[in-house]
């Protein structure tokens, strides 16, 4: 399937490994000019080398996107090297504190918001003006099933729910300008050095199998490539009537109907 995004410029944050890396690979296969970024230079270089075997039109930039000044520098550097960003994948996120209401200090809640929301919001603000000017853009925010229903810890769940709200609001605002904004909500997707891989490594086979039996109707943990392909589709011309939605990709994990 030709997704119609050859030579489109795509920035994927947190893309040196895991879901972000899978998204970068899927976009590269479609001929997009992909920019990957991360904080670990060695991991970034390894991923860059791997993706260049698929598509030479890729660059890697070492960047801590939790610092606002770095985001301005990042976008300007991309503009100088290859041009304006057409596709933005906000993938950076994570947990700071893994407790409930009684064990979550306000400072940890704020740090979780700083990680999951602030980079996404600022990058959206930086790329939207050009997307408006060209009457075309795609923004995909990587959320979580924990942002849609009960699960995980308080700070992470709250941050991802907020990201879904931002996605919906921005989508309605930007739809008249040809800019489509959606979210993807992965469930238990296992990848190297990820939390679900660690869960499997740190527990007995019996505990892991019981977890699968109780939570995953598909019968196994997820893997990054299907998430990357979904992100690429939402980034494409073929997604032209999809905006303001959050799509679960979780092997049947979630229980809610809406």
pLDDT digit string, tens, across residues 169-180: 999 999 999 999
**So what's the pLDDT on residue 98?**
82
Report residue 133's pLDDT band, with 50, 70 and 90 as the boundaries.
very high
Task: Give the model confidence (pLDDT) of 57-105 as tens digits.
Answer: 999 999 999 999 999 999 999 999 999 999 999 999 988 878 899 999 9
Average pLDDT, the chain: 95
Beta bridge partners of 27: none
Q: Please give the Cα distance from 180 to 173 (Å, whole number).
A: 10
Mean pLDDT in residue range 136-140? 98
Say whether pLDDT at 226 is over 80.
yes
Confidence band (pLDDT; 50, 70, 90) for 255? confident
Residue 199 clears pLDDT 90, i.e. is over it = no
**The whole model's pTM is what?**
0.96
The mean pLDDT of 237-251, rounded to a whole number, is 97
* Model pLDDT, residue 15: 95
More confident residue, 235 or 95: 235
Sheet holding 137-142, edge to edge: 58-62, 33-38, 9-12, 87-90, 137-142, 179-186, 246-249
Q: pLDDT tens digits for 148-158?
A: 998 889 999 99
Active site residues: 156
Strands (E), the chain: 9-12, 33-38, 58-62, 87-90, 137-142, 179-186, 246-249
Tell me how far apart the alpha carbons of residues 96 and 101 are, in angstroms, rounded to a whole number: 14
Beta strand extents in 207-252 (DSSP E only): 246-249
Q: How many helices (H) and strands (E) does the chain have?
A: 9, 7
Average pLDDT over residues 94-122: 92
Q: Output the CATH code of domain 9-187+224-249.
A: 3.40.50.720
Tell me: the pLDDT tens digits for 15-57?
Answer: 999 999 999 999 999 999 999 999 999 999 999 999 999 999 9
Please give the Cα distance from 24 to 149 (Å, whole number): 28
Domains in the chain: boundaries: 9-187+224-249, 190-221
Surface-to-core class of residue 14, CB atoms within 10 Å of its CB (0-12 exposed, 13-18 middle, 19+ buried): buried
Place of tokens 């904080």: 39
- Which distant-in-sequence residues (6+ apart) come within 8 Å of 14 by Cβ? 20, 37, 38, 65, 91, 92, 93
Q: Do residues 174 and 137 make contact, with C-beta atoms less than 8 angstroms apart? A: yes
Phi and psi, residue 208, nearest 5°: -65, -45
pLDDT band at 242 (very low <50, low <70, confident <90, very high): very high
Taking the C-alpha atoms of residue 212 and residue 193, their distance in angstroms, rounded to an integer, is 19
| pLDDT at residue number 151 | 84
Q: What are phi and psi of 186, to 5 degrees?
A: -70, 150
Give dist(CA 144, CA 256) in Å, integer.
14
């Amino acid at each position: 399937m030709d997704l119609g995004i050859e030579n489109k410029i795509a920035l994927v944050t947190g893309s040196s490994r895991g879901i972000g890396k899978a998204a970068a690979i899927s976009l590269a296969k479609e001929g997009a000019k992909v920019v990957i970024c991360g904080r670990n230079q060695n991991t970034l270089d390894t991923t860059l080398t791997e993706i260049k075997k698929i598509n030479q039109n890729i660059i890697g930039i070492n960047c801590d996107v939790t610092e606002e000044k770095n985001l301005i520098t990042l976008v300007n550097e991309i503009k100088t090297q290859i041009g304006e960003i057409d596709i933005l994948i906000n993938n950076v996120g994570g947990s700071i504190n893994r407790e409930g209401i009684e064990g979550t200090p306000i400072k940890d809640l704020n740090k979780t918001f700083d990680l999951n929301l602030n980079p996404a919001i600022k990058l959206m603000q930086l790329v939207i003006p050009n997307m408006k000017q060209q009457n075309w853009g795609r923004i995909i925010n990587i959320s979580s099933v924990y942002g849609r229903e009960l699960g995980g810890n308080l700070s992470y769940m709250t941050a991802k729910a907020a990201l879904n709200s931002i996605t919906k609001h921005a989508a309605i605002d930007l739809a008249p300008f040809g800019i489509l904004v959606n979210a993807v909500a992965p469930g238990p997707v296992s990848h190297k050095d990820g939390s679900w891989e660690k869960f499997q490594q740190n527990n007995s086979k019996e505990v892991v199998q019981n977890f699968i039996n109780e939570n995953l109707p598909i019968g196994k943990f997820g893997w990054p490539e299907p998430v990357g392909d979904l992100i690429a589709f939402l980034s494409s011309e073929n997604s032209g009537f999809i905006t303001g939605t959050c799509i679960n990709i979780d092997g049947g994990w979630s229980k809610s109907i809406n």
